[in-house]
Amino acid sequence: MTFPPRVFSGIKPSGDLHLGNYLGAIRRFVPLQKTHHCIYCVVDMHAITVWQEPEDLRRATYEVAAAYIAAGIDTKNHIIFNQSQVLQHAELAWIFNCVARMGWMNRMTQFKDKAGKNSENVSLGLFAYPSLMAADILLYKATHVPVGEDQKQHLELTRDIAQKFNNDYGKRIKDLHLDAGYFPLTEPMIAGAATRVRSLRDGTRKMSKSDAASDMETIYLLDDADAIANKIKRAKTDPEPLPEDVKDLENRPEADNLISIYAALADKTKQEVIAEFGGKGFGVFKPALAELSVSVLSPIATEMRRLVGDKGELDRILRDGADRARAIAETNMREIREIVGYVR
Ligand code: TYM
């Protein structure tokens, strides 16, 4: 069975969007519109797996939607919407909770990292989170999912769930004359120079919405030009000049991070950036990186601010996107209910 190519991806509206979200995900969503039908979701149901002040959740939901649009997502030919407006996500997630095995879920490293020593006291939703993520993707039979490296294991789980569902219900799927292999085995798209943007103060840690010990670790999408330049100026580095060969970045996590950021912002490879800056010191490289960052991020921030100032327009876009997403979701859900054997 071949599935029509369809892209799905999502971002949690929790905390403020940062450069990692932009380079690992949002920036890469844009060119895919030329080759695929794309669905980009603001995954608010994922956000509440850890406590969110209701007003913060609303603000962050609009902010992610605005970032999609400001970065260049075409909301007419593709879809953006927030997850909670399409109830079928929760419905399919429950079915997947009954397909996924405890052993699989227990292996999820992101849960272990997030729960830490507190695992008795985190929400059940946080544990079940990857099964909702599988539902997000498979509800639309998405074939490709662009994400950063941290989501790789969740996408492997999505394939395991699809495969087990296809096997468990294989006879029923055949009896109903549906295509064998009902769900696709989704391909992760983890590519480009910045699949794992790291903290500006500690090159061993991921840049993240939740873990930053100080604001200087993270460039936020809504930072102004001065803040961006200042954070880059004060980013941790080492005393060596930049190497002439990418291989020599291996044991220099901070240098590697800054080169990766530059490459992703300039749509270049790391080798191309090294060809330009190899042998030069950070005194030359950092101002160039600051200038590039500001030139790419500032117009996006300006447009995001304009959009979040017009909630009526964002509401209209999200509602329209949700209507179109729901139509696809409900068509698939009707078959899935039938496969499972629910009486309707
Ligand atoms: P979230 O909201 O944590 O992150 C959104 C996207 O940003 C990427 N990302 C990064 N990329 C590079 N460097 C970083 N430092 C960095 N930090 C975050 C993430 O990989 C992600 O692509 N579980 C998902 C949301 C989700 C989803 C989905 C994604 C829910 N359902 C279905 C794809 C398909 C998450 O928490 O992403």
Residue 204 lies in a domain: no
Specify whether 63 is located in the same domain as 159. Answer: yes
Per-residue confidence (pLDDT) for residue 2, from 0 to 100: 81
Specify whether 24 is located in the same domain as 170. Answer: yes
CA 151 to centroid of ligand 1, rounded, Å: 6
Longest dimension (CA), the chain: 70
Task: For residue 280, indicate whether it is catalytic.
Answer: no
Residue 207 lies in a domain: no
Per-residue confidence (pLDDT) for residue 275, from 0 to 100: 96
Q: Is the CB of 10 under 6 A from ligand 1?
A: yes
Specify whether 330 is located in the same domain as 253. Answer: no
What is the count of structural domains for the chain?
A: 2
Q: Is the CB of 133 under 6 A from ligand 1?
A: yes
Integer-rounded Cα radius of gyration of the chain = 21
CA distance 81 to 316: 10
Task: For residue 114, indicate whether it is catalytic.
Answer: yes
Looking up residue 279, the CATH number of its domain turns out to be 1.10.240.10
**Residue 100 neighbours by CB distance under 10 Å:** 21
What number does the ligand 1 atom closest to the CA of 21 have?
Answer: 7
Q: Is the CB of 9 under 6 A from ligand 1?
A: yes
Specify whether 332 is located in the same domain as 302. Answer: no
Is residue 6 within 8 Å of 50, Cβ to Cβ? no
Q: CA 57, 60, 65, 66 torsion: positive or negative?
A: positive
Nearest Cα residue to atom 31 of ligand 1: 133
Q: Is the CB of 152 under 6 A from ligand 1?
A: no
pLDDT in tens, 104-150: 999 999 999 998 888 899 999 999 999 999 999 999 999 999 999 99
| Active-site pick, 206, 236, 268, 270 | 206
Specify whether 191 is located in the same domain as 227. Answer: no
What number does the ligand 1 atom closest to the CA of 12 have?
Answer: 2
CA distance 261 to 270: 9
Specify whether 90 is located in the same domain as 117. Answer: yes
Nearest Cα residue to atom 37 of ligand 1: 11
Tell me phi and psi for residue 11, to 5 degrees.
Answer: -135, 135
Specify whether 108 is located in the same domain as 238. Answer: no
Per-residue confidence (pLDDT) for residue 214, from 0 to 100: 81
Q: What angle do CA 34, 265, 58 make, to 5 degrees?
A: 75
DSSP, collapsed to helix, strand or coil, labels residue 263 as helix
Nearest Cα residue to atom 16 of ligand 1: 20
- Domain carrying residue 93: 6-195+310-340
CA 20 to centroid of ligand 1, rounded, Å: 9
Q: Is the CB of 236 under 6 A from ligand 1?
A: no
Q: Is the CB of 206 under 6 A from ligand 1?
A: yes
| Active-site pick, 12, 114, 231, 286 | 114
Per-residue confidence (pLDDT) for residue 185, from 0 to 100: 97
The amino acid at residue 298 is: S
Residue 211 lies in a domain: no
Nearest Cα residue to atom 36 of ligand 1: 12
Per-residue confidence (pLDDT) for residue 212, from 0 to 100: 63
Nearest Cα residue to atom 34 of ligand 1: 9
Helices 124-138 and 152-168: crossing angle in degrees, nearest 10, is 70
Q: CA 115, 205, 31, 152 torsion: positive or negative?
A: negative
Q: Is the CB of 137 under 6 A from ligand 1?
A: yes
Specify whether 183 is located in the same domain as 247. Answer: no
Specify whether 148 is located in the same domain as 229. Answer: no
Residue 101 lies in a domain: yes
Specify whether 148 is located in the same domain as 279. Answer: no
Going by C-alpha positions, the residue among 262, 215, 220, 209 that lies closest to residue 234 is 215
Residue 82 lies in a domain: yes
Q: Is the CB of 211 under 6 A from ligand 1?
A: no
Q: Is the CB of 197 under 6 A from ligand 1?
A: yes
Per-residue confidence (pLDDT) for residue 157, from 0 to 100: 98
Residue 43 lies in a domain: yes
Specify whether 298 is located in the same domain as 149. Answer: no
Per-residue confidence (pLDDT) for residue 169, from 0 to 100: 97
Per-residue confidence (pLDDT) for residue 117, from 0 to 100: 86
Specify whether 47 is located in the same domain as 120. Answer: yes
Ligand 1 pocket: which of 17, 151, 158, 159 to mutate (most atoms within 8 A of CB)? 151
What number does the ligand 1 atom closest to the CA of 147 have?
Answer: 22
pTM listed for this prediction? 0.97
CA distance 191 to 56: 31
How far from the centroid of its chain's Cα atoms is residue 1's Cα?
Answer: 27
Residues of the chain with pLDDT under 50: none
Residue 67 lies in a domain: yes
